[in-house]
């Protein structure tokens, strides 16, 4: 039986690591695309040679062309310029919108049934760009943000309580960045609400650290940004889709009235399956969370308006 093909566009840290994680699943053919001559080919060869040691025989192809992507079921798009220390996500807008536009056109031309998972920042606006340019139904365009943000929040809670991170469940909605909205009522440790386990000031500090999670890593690395957790989050979404898991994960998807948001790609709880986004779950929000989510959506709306002026 032929394996499903997954394309990763951008062979930098996030894309290269995502391709490696996909190869190690031993379930997909992986195509790694980048404009840098030799880089995707070299990384693909290196991954293939890890197969005998790690126990996988996935086919990994590195290429500077999009022709090898034909027939892809899903593409993870990581291409774009990275955020540098002191640079806001908004400053990335113009350059990355042009890059994503070109990438999406090349992919859809060769794989009309493809599902697109965006990782490029500013995430919510780039997902909007991909949808607008691709002509794909909204169910097949989504952005990776909430899975990463939730993972960061879970890891900080686990550290604070000295519990396994897998025991912590969390849901982070809204735009990716400073306006994300962690749902404390739906954040639990072995079924117990986080509000019972940590004092309010400590929780507030953890929320703030989650909101600044990407910047904290950028400032530590000095010459790059996070890639282990972002690649893991993107692959988690791909697995939920291709294995038809029907899992509810926080993703940037197009809302048409849900949570009072209309026509914008914002992080909400989305059910993922073989058709892409198969529904949006309606969680009960507190008045403060509703206000914060509305503010987050407004920030995304302003970015999308800026995109419309650029494209």
Q: Which residues are catalytic?
A: 176
b/e sequence 202-236, b meaning 16+ C-beta within 10 Å: ebeebbeebbebbbebbeeeeebbbbebbbebbbb
CB atoms closer than 10 angstroms to residue 290 = 14
The angle at the Cα of 19, spanning 143 to 131, to the nearest 5 degrees, equals 25
The DSSP symbol for 174 reads B
Instruction: Please say whether the dihedral angle defined by the alpha carbons of residues 182, 185, 190 and 195, taken in this order, is positive or negative.
Output: positive
b/e sequence 23-51, b meaning 16+ C-beta within 10 Å: bbbebbbbbbbbeeeebbbebbeebbeeb
Gap between the Cα atoms of 152 and 176, Å rounded:
12
Number of H helices, E strands in the chain: 10, 14
How far are the Cα atoms of 163, 189, 285 from residue 6, in angstroms, in the given order?
35, 34, 36
- Which two three-digit tokens encode residue 251? 């993703």
How far are the Cα atoms of 111, 249, 300 from residue 143, in angstroms, in the given order?
19, 11, 13
For 279-308, give the DSSP string. Answer: EE------HHHHHHHHHHHHHHHHHHHHHH
- Which two three-digit tokens encode residue 192? 């117990």
CA atoms within 13 A on the CB side of 245: 13
């Amino acid at each position: 039986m032929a394996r499903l093909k997954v394309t990763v566009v951008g062979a930098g840290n996030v894309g290269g690591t995502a391709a490696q994680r996909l190869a190690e699943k031993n379930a997909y053919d992986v195509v790694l695309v980048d404009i840098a001559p030799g880089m995707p080919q070299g990384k693909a060869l290196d991954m293939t040679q890890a197969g005998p040691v790690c126990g996988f025989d996935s086919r990994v192809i590195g290429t500077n062309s999009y022709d090898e992507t034909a027939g892809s079921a899903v593409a993870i798009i990581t291409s774009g310029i990275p955020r540098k220390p002191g640079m806001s996500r908004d400053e990335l807008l113009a350059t990355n919108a042009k890059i994503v536009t070109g990438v999406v056109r090349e992919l859809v031309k060769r794989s009309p049934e493809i599902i697109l998972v965006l990782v490029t920042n500013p995430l919510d606006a780039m997902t909007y760009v991909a949808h607008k340019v691709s002509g794909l139904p909204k169910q097949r365009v989504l952005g990776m943000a909430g899975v990463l943000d939730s993972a960061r929040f879970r890891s900080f809670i686990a550290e604070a309580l000295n519990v396994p991170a897998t025991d912590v469940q969390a849901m982070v909605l809204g735009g990716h960045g400073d306006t994300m909205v962690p749902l404390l009522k739906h954040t639990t440790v072995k079924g117990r609400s986080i509000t019972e386990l940590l004092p309010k000031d400590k929780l507030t500090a953890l929320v703030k650290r989650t909101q600044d999670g990407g910047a904290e890593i950028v400032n530590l690395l000095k010459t790059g940004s996070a890639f282990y957790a972002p690649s893991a989050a993107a692959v988690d979404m791909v697995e939920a889709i291709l294995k038809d898991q029907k899992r509810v994960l926080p993703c940037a998807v197009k809302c048409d009235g849900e949570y009072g948001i209309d026509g914008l790609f914002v992080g909400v709880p989305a059910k993922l399956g073989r058709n892409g986004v198969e529904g949006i779950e309606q969680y009960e929000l507190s008045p403060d969370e509703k206000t914060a989510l509305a503010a987050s959506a407004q920030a995304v709306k302003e970015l999308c308006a800026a995109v419309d002026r650029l494209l």
